[in-house]
Structure 1
Amino acid sequence: MEKDLFRKVYKQVSGLALKDCPPSSLSGLLHGYLSVYSMVRVYPWLEDEYGSLWDIHDRIREIARVIQELLKDRDLPVDTRAGYVVDLMDAYLLYSDMKFLDTALDAAYEILIPKGSDKMVLPCRTPNICRLLCNCYYFTGEDECGMLAKNLVTEALGISRKFSHEELWDWWGAICFYEDVVGAMELSLEEQISLEEERVRLTTCVKQRKDEMIERFMGSAGEDLGALANVFKILAKRNFYEYNELNGKAFR
């Protein structure tokens, strides 16, 4: 059933003109297409269904260019700017356009280092800032970025039971991103056991949240482009995972 829904959603997002999409939908669209690109790259026969790698690549570049333009607005809320920076960095990992990376890194350090200072100061303690620090660590190797990201993840895990559904969704993505980019945290055995228990709980909660989002979307007219983008992102990743399981591969 989800495969049929994904085909329908993919057809819908493929027909979208980006100028008609609200900025809040661009991250979901970008990451959905990144998953589709990875899926088609690993399983080339899927080009017949989802289009050529070049076409998908071109769509990702198109979205990234829109995000790059949005990033020029320095009056945006800092958390919103941080999200755009992370999106550009994610696009760079595929597209390898140094302009994207240079723009993103310049904006990242504008966010993290106040004007006239040479020290990093976190402007807020959000999932986007955590992901921003992780990407800065990945691209520059600055240990301070990794340590600051670790502090945010530790704080988030400590209060995760107080999160709203939306906060849980956002922080879970940041926590997984931290582990992918920076690595597993060095913890005592007791802390490792506690973390694993929390991971199981969070995984269940986040899956439930995603399922609810899909159900709401299916019951709607499909005109909410923000919801469409989020469902596209969820289903694209699930489809990729499913193909990996069927073919005995394990990619994150």
Structure 2
Amino acid sequence: MEKGLFHELYKRSCELEMGRCPSPALSGFLHGYLSVYSMVRVYPWLEESFGETYEIHERVREIARFIEPLAGNKNLPADVRAGYVVDLMDAYQLYSDLNFLNTALDAAYDILTPWGSDKIVLPCRTPNICRLLCNCYYFTGEMEDGVLAGSLISEALGSIRDLGRQGSMVWWDAFCFYEDVVGAMELPEPERVRLAEERVRLAVSVKQEEEEMIERFVLSTRDDLELFGRVFCILARREFATNDKLYGRKE
């Protein structure tokens, strides 16, 4: 059923006018298409099902164009704006347009160094800010960004059990992102061990939360575009993982 649902949603997503989607929905669609692009690039025969890589590439570019002004919108709360900046940086890794990267970095340091300060001042201590710091570290190599991201990870690990399921879930991507971009070896030994333990524990919660989200969408009228985008992103990632299992080991 899941495979059929994803193909149905992919076809429907291709017909959507992204400019008419609510802003919070754009991130889910962007990352869903990034997964599809990567999958088709690795397994080109899947173009029969998902279209040519160029078409998917252009869809990512289109969505990024709608995210770009959101990343630069100083009227948005810092945490929300940081999420859009990270989206733009993620899009850059596929669509290597320096304008995207420059816009994203300008917005990032506008968020992190307010009032013309020459020092980073964190506006809040959220997963989006942590991911933003990780991306700044990746693109600029500034050690301070990596160190500050690590401090947020350590803080989150210290209170993660008190946050409840929903509270801990929002840190999942930040934990994975930090480990992939900065590297868990930058953390002190106790936090390194704790991060590994929490990732194992949270993986179960993440899977359960995703299943509930998919079920909620299936049972709904399917008109909620933000939920559509999130489910599309989840299923695209799973579709890529499924094809990896089917074909990856043969190469």
Mark yes or no: TM-score above 0.5: yes
User: Number of paired residues?
Assistant: 249
Distance 1:43 1:121, change over 3 A: same
Aligned position for 1:114: 114
Change (3 A) 1:32 1:45: same
Structure 1 stretches of at least 4 aligned residues deviating more than 6 Å after TM superposition: none
Q: Taking structure 1 as reference, are residues 214 and 174 closer, same or farther at Cα in structure 2, changes over 3 Å only?
A: same
Q: Tell me which residue corresponds to 1:144.
A: 144
- Measure the CA separation in 2 of the matches of 1:203 and 1:65: 32
SS at match of 1:145: helix
How far off its partner does 1:13 sit? 1.2
CA RMSD of superposed structures (Å): 1.5
Cα distance, 1:164 vs structure 2: 4.2
Question: What displacement does 1:187 show?
Answer: 5.3
CA contact (8 A) 1:150 1:185 kept: no
| SS of the residue 2:116 aligns to | coil
Partner deviation per Cα, 1:121-156 (whole Å, 9 max, x = no partner):
100001110010000000000000000001111111
Paired residue for 1:11? 11
Which amino acid in structure 1 is aligned with residue 70 of structure 2? L
In structure 2, the CA distance between the partners of 1:12 and 1:163, relative to structure 1 (3 Å rule), is farther
Alpha-carbon distance, 1:90 to partner: 0.4
Partner of 2:217: 217
Structure 1 gap ranges (5+): none
- Do the aligned partners of 1:131 and 1:177 also contact (CA within 8 Å) in 2? yes
Structure 1 range deviating more: 48-57 or 111-120 = 111-120
Tell me whether 89-98 or 1-10 shows the greater mean CA deviation: 1-10
Q: CA deviation at 1:246?
A: 1.9
5+ residue gaps in structure 2?
Answer: none
Mapped contact 2:134–2:181 kept (Cα < 8 A): yes
Identity of aligned residues (%): 61
- Could you tell me the TM-score, scaled by structure 2's length? 0.95
State the AA in 2 paired with 1:200.
V
Counterpart residue type for residue 121 of structure 1: V
Output the CA distance in 1 between the equivalents of 2:243 and 2:157: 31
